[in-house]
A and B are shown apart, each in its own frame.
Chain A
Amino acid sequence: MTHIKKNTYTIVIPAYNEDKHIDAFFRRLKASSFEVSPSVLVNDGSVDTTVSVASKYTPYVLNHATNLGKGAALKTGCDFAFTHLKANYVIMMDSDEQHSPNDLLKFIDKIGEGHELILGVRSFNGMPTIPTYLNKFTSFMIQLLYGTYVPDVPSGYKAISRKMYDEIKWQATGYEVEVEIAQKIARKKIKFATVPIETIYPDYVRGMTLLDGVKVLLKLIGIK
């Protein structure tokens, strides 16, 4: 593992009504010992006990007074980490245990190699059929429209440097954020590295609804 300065990266976790999984998520994160500085949890207007559970593990629990969506929560977390915690990198993880803390080492290694943007890419083995096709379709459309292949667009497991954040700061407030990031990467021909991550698709994962799918499609063709 390449040596990384302490406090170089901060983990940002958006969460909305995740009290069933947030405890297990943080326990696994602490056990992995890759959390060099306290993580930033952005509670996106949850009405359950997400905040009280998360507060046991991190002093940085940011509360959205109302549910804005994943994109807005990520933006709040990144702004806080880069501006107030002076982080050089942010690693984004989902709070529903879809992202394994064991994969953090791969991101840290890539950060050490000097990459500014690292995308976690899942294998299609173990991914349900419909999400697999939607995933491939989104990458295909991005390549068709902008000429760059961006793998696993819906994956939210990413690492981003402060400089790159300024470059691709998104406007999307919901799930469309992943598409917007991929669009910006492809349009601006931004260099990125990829790391293979575990494909975890538990039954409880709500993921995107059909309505989110429509929003993603609109985003792809340039409609907000």
Chain B
Amino acid sequence: MTLFQVSSILFALFMSYVVRVHQQKARLTAIEASLWYSLWFLFACIAVFPHLLTGISEYFYFDRVFDLLVVGAFMVLTFIVLRSYFMYRLLLEKIEILVRDKAIAETLLQNQIKHKRAFQSKKRVTTTEVNK
């Protein structure tokens, strides 16, 4: 076994541990966690037995298994980056709406309270004058 294969297995084990931590904190459902465990298991298997992918790489006319992995990884990464970008944009929009709405609501409430107090003190003055 090469050094690269050993480090790949260690990396897969570490990532499985990360998945477990997040599962324990209820950030991942059982199905999601299972999918991630499967992915890291698959990663470790491919690292140890790269010839498992020979058939697939030949099917797609890749000369080497490594080329297939690079292309596959690039596709996955592109998808993740794009998805994160849209999520980030959506989150920014949500935060903006939340902050802006809160600012308006708070000012309206403060002014309502001020008006109510002013009205009550005016009413009190009028009542005192009538009593006199």
Contact = CB atoms under 8 A, between A and B. Distances in A.
A59 B104 contact: no
Contacts of A59: 110-111, 114
A41 B95 CA distance: 20
Nearest to B114: A59
A62 B103 CA distance: 5
B85 to A, nearest CB: 11
A61 interface: yes
Contacts of A42: 103
B106 A63 contact: yes
A125 B7 CA distance: 65
Interface string B9-43: 00000000000000000000000000000000000
B67 interface: no
A201 interface: no
A60 B111 contact: yes
Given A79-B104, A84-B104, A65 B99 contact: yes
Interface residues of A, number: 18
Nearest to A66: B99
B102 A65 contact: yes
Contacts of B58: none
Interface in B50-92: 89, 92
A181 to B, nearest CB: 17
Contact of A79 (B89, B95, B100, B111): B100
Given A60-B111, A62-B103, A68-B95, 20 more contacts: A59-B111, A59-B114, A60-B107, A61-B107, A62-B106, A63-B103, A63-B106, A63-B107, A64-B103, A65-B103, A68-B96, A68-B99, A68-B100, A72-B96, A72-B100, A76-B100, A79-B100, A79-B104, A173-B92, A224-B89
